[in-house]
Amino acid sequence: MSIYLDYNASAPIDPVVLEVMIDVYKNHIGNADSRTHEFGDRARTIVETARKQVASLLGINAAEVFFTSGATESNNIAIQGLEAYALEKGKNHIITSSIEHKAVLETVKAMGRRGFEVDIIDPEPSGCIDVNAVLQKLKSNTLLVSIMHVNNETGMIQPVLELGEDLHARNILFHVDATQSCGKLIDELRSLKYDMLSFSAHKLCGPQGVGVLVLRKKNYKLPPVRSIMYGGQQEHGIRPGTIPVALVAGCGKACEIAEIHADDNRKKLAKVKATITDMISTSGIEYSYNGNQERCLDNTINVCLHGVSSEALMISTKKYCGISNGSACTSKSYSPSYVLTAMGLSDERIDNSIRISWGPETDLEQLRIDFKELLLVAKKLVQ
């Protein structure tokens, strides 16, 4: 079995989370919105416990947490859900960046086709968005700025803390896709000023198929986000449909575990990174990291192994390591990473770049064995 180094695509479920979910599936039948029996009451209690666990991790009020099917849906609701308000207020300008996940980028582009004015900011060669580049684009009709916290391909931490302060002062809605940072940059997320925030549970060792949209209250009022679907009053109508109680319980537990083990996890991630960077630097292969490593989250490396085709490397090292060369959501059809392209990297550099991402439970011994094999193969592939 090869070592899994693609946590940014999906992290393995924590066994404790799985246990909680199995218990719900086995012993807590019912619909959390049923009002006529105890089964419903018990399911509702489980959902509300999970809501509190998410709120505790993020340092917010539980009433600000809305469960969805994942970050894709959360991003869509956060952005498209503002359409009615935008029309009402005559505010139809949206700013985002070219390195967002497609769930933001494609949604904003779709809004553009529906008559919204859209500005898409390119990153600096460092892989980070320049705060001033965003601020310069603000106009009197700016409705929304949507910038991710950590990029899924490069691990670059974006300057959302500074941006949040500025946008808050100007009363402009700010959405943050925190899918890759939730449960990792805990203090940053607690002090960040935002109106809407999205994440998926499976990136922090929770189950796939559940996520959160946070709507922060200002003066006791939620941001003017409306549902983009019809059919029920669940989650205050923000996300209609039966609440998947076991998934939600798993999401809550994953958040609780991330909060409890925050310090320990941070150290473990840094240790894995040090091991990988040591091995790369002593491999004898010429390499360059993509993005400013001082701003890189400790669970990701995006590296160009010069002269080594990433496709050839991934195919020939499948039995050692599960790595990737871009986002899983766009990896079915190979085209050069749009994130690395936006950073201004050459096609050749992008062709030779791989993404390695890991979690706190990544086994260092196994890593040393399997990653060594990968580097030996890479050395043979150098052209």
Residues with catalytic function = 329
Asked whether position 103 contacts ligand PMP by CB under 6 A, the answer is yes
Of 50 and 150, which has the nearer Cβ to ligand PMP?
Answer: 150
> How many CB atoms are closer than 10 A to CB 95?
26
Task: Choose one: 34-42, 53-61, 69-77, 332-340; the region binding ligand PMP (CB under 6 A).
Answer: 69-77
Asked whether position 200 contacts ligand PMP by CB under 6 A, the answer is yes
Return the HEC string of 308-328. Answer: CCHHHHHHHCCCCEECECCCH
Task: Choose one: 30-38, 66-74, 107-115, 369-377; the region binding ligand PMP (CB under 6 A).
Answer: 66-74
Task: Round to whole Å and give the CA distance between 317 and 3.
Answer: 11
Asked whether position 177 contacts ligand PMP by CB under 6 A, the answer is yes
One of 92, 152, 158, 265 touching ligand PMP (CB under 6 A):
152
One of 3, 20, 24, 72 touching ligand PMP (CB under 6 A):
72
Residue 194 sits at the vertex; the CA angle it makes with 135 and 233, to the nearest 5 degrees, is 130
Report, in Å, the least distance between residue 150 CB and ligand PMP: 7
Report, in Å, the least distance between residue 304 CB and ligand PMP: 21
- How are beta strands 300-305 and 287-289 bridged, if at all? antiparallel
Of 308 and 342, which has the nearer Cβ to ligand PMP?
Answer: 342
One of 51, 91, 101, 355 touching ligand PMP (CB under 6 A):
101
Task: Choose one: 32-40, 65-73, 217-225, 286-294; the region binding ligand PMP (CB under 6 A).
Answer: 65-73
Asked whether position 206 contacts ligand PMP by CB under 6 A, the answer is no
Report, in Å, the least distance between residue 117 CB and ligand PMP: 24
Q: Are 115 and 145 in contact (CB under 8 A)?
A: no
Task: Round to whole Å and give the CA distance between 288 and 297.
Answer: 17
Query: SS3 of 299, please?
Result: coil
Q: What are phi and psi of 53, to 5 degrees?
A: -65, -40
Task: Choose one: 67-75, 157-165, 298-306, 350-358; the region binding ligand PMP (CB under 6 A).
Answer: 67-75
Q: Are 96 and 163 in contact (CB under 8 A)?
A: no
Largest CA distance in the chain: 69
> How many CB atoms are closer than 10 A to CB 126?
17
Nearest to 249, CA basis, from 99, 48, 104: 48
Report, in Å, the least distance between residue 164 CB and ligand PMP: 17
Task: Round to whole Å and give the CA distance between 20 and 370.
Answer: 32
Nearest to 137, CA basis, from 105, 96, 102: 96
One of 70, 250, 291, 322 touching ligand PMP (CB under 6 A):
70
What stretches of 56-106 adopt beta strand conformation (E)?
Answer: 65-68, 93-97
Asked whether position 327 contacts ligand PMP by CB under 6 A, the answer is yes
Of 211 and 223, which has the nearer Cβ to ligand PMP?
Answer: 211
Asked whether position 71 contacts ligand PMP by CB under 6 A, the answer is yes
One of 142, 154, 180, 324 touching ligand PMP (CB under 6 A):
180
Find the binding residues for ligand PMP in span 285-304 (CB under 6 A): none
Asked whether position 148 contacts ligand PMP by CB under 6 A, the answer is yes
Of 66 and 320, which has the nearer Cβ to ligand PMP?
Answer: 66
Asked whether position 329 contacts ligand PMP by CB under 6 A, the answer is yes
Total residues binding ligand PMP (CB under 6 A): 14
Nearest to 144, CA basis, from 221, 71, 81: 81
Place of tokens 């001082």: 294
Place of tokens 């609780």: 256
Task: Choose one: 128-136, 173-181, 262-270, 370-378; the region binding ligand PMP (CB under 6 A).
Answer: 173-181
Region at 168 (left for phi over 0; alpha for psi -120 to 50; beta for the rest): alpha
Q: Is the dihedral of CA 46, 52, 55, 60 positive or negative?
A: positive
Task: Choose one: 58-66, 108-116, 174-182, 277-285; the region binding ligand PMP (CB under 6 A).
Answer: 174-182
Q: What are phi and psi of 112, to 5 degrees?
A: -60, -40
Give residues in contact with ligand PMP (CB under 6 A): 70-72, 101, 103, 148, 152, 177, 179-180, 200, 202, 327, 329
